[in-house]
DNA sequence: CGTCACTTTGAAAGCTTTCAATAGGAGTGG
DNA sequence: CCACTCCTATTGAAAGCTTTCAAAGTGACG
């Protein structure tokens, strides 16, 4: 609770399903139903290398980014340097929505990143032209809100082990290939995201390995050997899918 | 990190300024500019007494509530009973927006509460009829998101004392009359909101009193005697106002 | 005025952090 | 391609803050 040496925060991906869906449709075709991401189609692709910042806390939040590749972290920092990573942003997600007059956090690249950007004004006015896009934006915000709530539960009431396991399972849920997951961020990033220290994260990981629940298959690659046991530890609330298929599309906002 | 005895969660108020504004305008007059709250004007006023639930975690989130009086708490509960209060809802705020298929939290009354309700479908279709209302809803969600981020910073990186002081200052910021604040919730609610135990909250309060920073003027009434010192403790990031006046109204969504 | 629920205190235990030092990997340059 | 350096991760041991367990106060309510 005392450290004053770290910097950087991340925002949890949690791409709205309706938004993620866009990835499988060509942004060039006549739009049978444009997605939020299609709005960025004409923009040039920009690259950022690990560590570079896209948004600074306190800035006028003028830009909105469509993340094409790489991982970003969104964070807030206390005056004395303590950092809290709000979430990590993955490809398929949109960064920069959800604040008003002033950016409330910093966002920088965890890995090399490719994005397309749109000014906030342009983005919003484009969204306004389509009830369907408005609905998608609304859904996106609701998803992010839901993720934020889950994180509050984690930070406020879960033990170190539960936090680490929940984190691993969340990554698995988001983009797991089989039982293996890619963990691009450092222990420090994990710690700042989970409200722990790097040492504690490391100890928990070691403990999980020793018990055979996970095992490292590379520097940033981890195999979740016993998903069931891991889910038991996490509390069974991170990895559940919405059981219902996407509801029938309705007018403008989802009802 | 172990307790298995409490139940209940709250959602941080954080009413969008644009929404709070509505309170000073008659919902009956021809609408020069309707506010989100005006949508509830025709609905009957319902009362709930302390402890009654308005929304259950897992329910189909069919209802949206305009809170007229009283305080609600929004919370999530782990399978073993650990509870995390997501936020407290105050009059002027709207409850129930921000989730999609299924309610992700429970909401119940901290004090006697008066609300008006609207089905989600009706609420959203009414909002869709007015670009201005859409803008307000968007702003509301952004404010709630911002509050959630602040809370994550608090839960992940602040000490017990900082959390308690931040909480008191947040209430003061929201609805402080002079240096006195009304704290309608119990120590257990505070603890579950701040990620602490009731004993720790109690100890921190006692410590603040002993140092002359606050003093109780009633069971649920506290005077913040030394605001400056309290702000220093909290880290100076909870109580800042947006320095800019509301930006000029623009098309539909705020740009 | 008695009961019940909530709050405050105290003391000990525990989990996470802090401090320190050792590994381990990645990248660079010879 | 290997050596060297630097940064990140892992471990240990001790300290610290918060929690747990218990018990005494306090106030609200009937």
CA end-to-end distance (rounded Å), chain B: 43
Mean pLDDT value of segment B201-230 = 95
pLDDT at position B55 over 90: no
Mean pLDDT value of segment A198-220 = 95
Give the whole-number percent of chain A exceeding pLDDT 90.
Answer: 65
Q: Give the pLDDT confidence score for residue A34 in this predicted structure.
A: 84
Q: Give the pLDDT confidence score for residue A144 in this predicted structure.
A: 93
pLDDT at position B33 over 90: no
Of B22, B169, B150, residue with least CA distance to B87? B150
Q: Give the pLDDT confidence score for residue B21 in this predicted structure.
A: 43
Mean pLDDT value of segment A69-82 = 94
Using CA atoms, how far residue A6 sits from A55, A83, A105, in Å, is 18, 6, 15
How confident is residue B97, by pLDDT bands cut at 50, 70 and 90? confident
pLDDT at position A91 over 70: yes
B219-CA/C1-C1' distance, Å: 21
How confident is residue B48, by pLDDT bands cut at 50, 70 and 90? very high
How confident is residue A146, by pLDDT bands cut at 50, 70 and 90? very high
Nucleotide of closest approach to A200 (CA, C1'): C16
d(CA B200, CA B76): 21
76-105 in chain B: CB under 8 A from chain A: 76, 78-80, 82-84, 86, 97-102, 104-105
pLDDT at position B200 over 70: yes
Q: Does the CB of A246 have a partner CB in chain B at under 8 Å?
A: no
Count of CB atoms situated within 10 Å of the CB of A24 = 7
Lowest mean pLDDT among A87-91, B21-25, B170-174: B21-25
SS3 A108: strand
Q: What torsion, rounded to 10 degrees, do the Cα atoms A200, A52, B153, A81 define? A: 80
Q: Give the pLDDT confidence score for residue A2 in this predicted structure.
A: 39
Q: Does the CB of B198 have a partner CB in chain A at under 8 Å?
A: no
pLDDT at position B254 over 60: no
Which tops the pLDDT comparison, B9 or A237?
A237
Q: Give the pLDDT confidence score for residue B29 in this predicted structure.
A: 56
d(CA B216, CA B207): 12
Nucleotide of closest approach to B216 (CA, C1'): C7
Q: Which residues of A touch B120 (CB under 8 A)?
A: 255
Rounded to 5 degrees, φ, ψ at B162 are -60, -35
- According to the 3-state scheme, what is the secondary structure of B158-182? CCHHHHHHHHHHHHHHHHCECCEEE
Q: Give the pLDDT confidence score for residue A69 in this predicted structure.
A: 95
- Convert the pLDDT of each residue in B164-177 to its tens digit: 999 999 999 998 77
How confident is residue A89, by pLDDT bands cut at 50, 70 and 90? very high
| Cβ–Cβ below 8 Å for A128 and B253 | yes
Mean pLDDT value of segment B15-36 = 55
| Cβ–Cβ below 8 Å for A242 and B79 | no
Mean pLDDT value of segment A222-238 = 87
By CA distance, what is A159's nearest residue in B?
B1
pLDDT at position A137 over 90: yes
Count of CB atoms situated within 10 Å of the CB of B18 = 22
Mean pLDDT value of segment B218-223 = 91
Report yes or no: B134 and B253 within 8 Å, Cβ to Cβ: yes
């Amino acid at each position: 609770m005392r450290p004053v040496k770290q910097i950087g925060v991340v925002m949890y991906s949690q791409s709205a399903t309706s938004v993620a869906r866009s990835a499988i449709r060509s942004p060039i075709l006549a739009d049978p139903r444009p997605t939020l991401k299609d709005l960025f189609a004409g923009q040039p692709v920009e690259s950022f290398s690990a560590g570079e910042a896209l948004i600074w806390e306190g800035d006028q939040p003028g830009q909105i980014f469509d993340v094409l590749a790489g991982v970003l972290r969104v964070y807030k920092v206390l005056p004395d340097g303590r950092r809290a990573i709000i979430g990590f942003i993955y490809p398929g997600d949109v960064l920069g929505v959800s604040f008003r007059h002033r950016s409330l956090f910093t966002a920088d690249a965890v890995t090399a990143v490719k994005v397309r950007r749109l000014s906030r004004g342009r983005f919003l006015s484009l969204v306004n032209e389509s009830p369907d896009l408005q609905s998608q934006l609304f859904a996106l915000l609701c998803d992010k809100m839901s993720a934020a709530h889950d994180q509050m539960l984690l930070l406020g009431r879960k033990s170190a082990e539960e936090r680490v396991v929940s984190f691993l399972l969340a990554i698995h849920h988001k983009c797991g290939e089989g039982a293996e997951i890619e963990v691009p961020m450092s222990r420090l990033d994990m710690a700042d995201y989970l409200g722990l220290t790097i040492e504690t994260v490391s100890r928990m990981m070691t403990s999980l390995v020793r018990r055979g629940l996970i095992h490292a298959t590379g520097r940033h690659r981890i195999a979740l050997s016993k998903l069931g046991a891991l889910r038991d530890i996490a509390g069974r609330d991170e990895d559940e899918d919405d059981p219902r298929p996407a509801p029938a599309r309705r007018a403008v906002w989802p009802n």
